[in-house]
Amino acid sequence: MIELCPTTEEEASEIIRAHAQAGTPLSVAGGNTRSGFGNVVTAEHRLRSTALSGIVAYNPGEMVLTARAGTPLAEIEAALAESGQTMAFEPMDHRPLMGTSGEPTIGGVFAANVSGPRRLISGAARDSLLGVRFVNGRGEAIKAGGRVMKNVTGLDLVKLMAGSQGTLGLITEVTFRVPPRPKSEATIVISGLNDAEAANAMAAAMAMPVEVSGAAHLPMTVAWTFLGNRLPEGEATVLRIEGLPASVATRAEKLAAAMSAFGPVARLGKDDSAALWREIRDVKPYADGGPRPVWRVSVAPSIGHQLVAALRLETGVDAFYDWQGGLVWMRMEADAEAGLLRRFMAALGGGHATLMRAPDAMRAATPVFEPQVDAVALLSARVKEKFDPAGIFSPGKMG
């Protein structure tokens, strides 16, 4: 594959304009750390944002940062750490799961709308995005939004680009909120709950006035893989509290007392808690870069465990739960079982299933993204036609 790495937005515009005129497909990528995700891309040319790099503006007092799309995520995180700030949406590192290398980029994070465990209270990546610059399929450079939320039309366009997976244009610059980093954290661990019991415990915890910022359930099949097997033996239902040290201590004590009604309770301190939630974020049990299909399934929190139970009656599946049970990470034994999975999802009230990892042949034969209903599919096609009239952007995988 031919790699195209423009160093300026103008150069990116020229490349895209030339490909549009020639009708030559382009695959859009950043660090390419999600290679192997999404539809199989057949484009011979890959347009990458990695040379469009650097922090453009950052005033910690404003809690807003602007960076070029190809800026490595590690560079962003280092700058934020110096100022005691963070990305509220807690983006995962896909490299262990996907078996890829390279450096994740900030543009790729927003292009894929990457969101981690804190999504429960802080929203997805798109909810932190204030402004974006991108080049559409005509080669036109477009700016939407800005450093404050005030332009409704621009805000809608910003939201549209977040999660577009490189199908509408090449993101060249992003502006996003960066709130203070929590000073401390602790995690309450409830042991021995089955999936249904864990769903009830997590719902009870989220209803308490203690501001739980992470709620996950790790069945016995995966719990041993976390923290070097230092979690209490058996299933682990984990609940995170963040904030000032004194507040964390008080709220964690209150939460532990309430959760003791569900099962034995233990507590993780700041360092172990942080390590655990990084591993949950990065899907550690399935982060072997192997060939077995892995699904990312978003459903109502109350039905996640029902979906897994139904699948286990029909096929080999392993799973664990984030977002209070509303995000289910599944690993299949052999086949992707897309039809079976989506049939059960529909019967339980619907949701979204995305095939994150599978061999190329399986991805080519499987609906990788959740099929859209007719009205939404028609609207998506119209948006695609407006942004990319020549249809040169393949369903891409920005990293």
List, for residues 326-373, the tens digit of each pLDDT value: 999 999 999 999 999 999 999 999 999 999 999 989 988 888 888 888
**Proportion of the chain above pLDDT 90, given as a percent:** 82
* pLDDT value of position 371: 84
Using a 10 angstrom Cβ sphere, with 0-12 exposed, 13-18 middle and 19 or more buried, the burial of residue 334 is exposed
Same fold, 2-177 and 184-281: no
Q: What value does the mean pLDDT take over residues 303-312?
A: 96
Q: How confident is the model at residue 151 (pLDDT cuts 50, 70, 90)?
A: very low
**Mean pLDDT, residues 87-97 taken together:** 95
**Section 168-194 average pLDDT:** 97
Query: Tokens 């006035």 label which residue?
Result: 209
99, 109, 112: which is closest to 72 by C-alpha?
Answer: 109
Q: What is the mean pLDDT of residues 30-51?
A: 86
Average pLDDT of the segment spanning 6-28: 95
pLDDT value at position 34?
Answer: 86
Residue 180 CB coordination number (10 Å)? 13
Task: Report the alpha-carbon distance of residue 17 to residue 138 in Å, rounded.
Answer: 6
Residue 64, pLDDT > 80, answer: yes
The 10s digit of each residue's pLDDT in 246-303 is 999 999 999 999 999 999 999 999 999 999 999 999 999 999 878 899 999 999 999 9
Do 320 and 337 contact (CB within 8 A), yes or no?
Answer: no
> pLDDT band for position 201 (50/70/90)?
very high
What is the per-residue pLDDT for 147? 58
Question: Would you state the CATH architecture of domain 284-374?
Answer: 2-Layer Sandwich (3.30)
Q: Where are the domains of the chain?
A: 2-177, 184-281, 284-374
Burial per residue of 355-371, b for 16 or more beta-carbon CB atoms within 10 angstroms, e otherwise: bbbbeeebbeebebebe
Cα distance between residue 14 and residue 135, in whole Å:
10
- Altogether, the residues listed in the chain come to a count of 399
Mean pLDDT score, 320-331: 97
Under the banding of pLDDT at 50, 70 and 90, the label for residue 395 is low
Which tens digits make up the pLDDT trace of 104-132? 999 999 999 999 999 999 999 999 999 99
Would you place residue 146 in the very low, low, confident or very high pLDDT band (cuts 50, 70, 90)?
low
Q: Quickly list H helices, the chain.
A: 9-22, 73-82, 95-98, 106-111, 119-122, 125-128, 152-161, 195-207, 220-223, 245-259, 270-281, 304-312, 338-347, 360-365, 374-387
pTM for the structure as a whole: 0.93
* pLDDT higher than 90, residue 10: yes
235 close to 218: Cβ distance less than 8 angstroms? yes
What does the DSSP assignment read for 306-341? HHHHHHHTTS-EEEEEEGGGTEEEEEESSS--HHHH
CATH number of the structural domain 184-281: 3.30.70.2190
pLDDT of residue 196 exceeding 80? yes
Q: Which CATH class is domain 2-177?
A: alpha beta
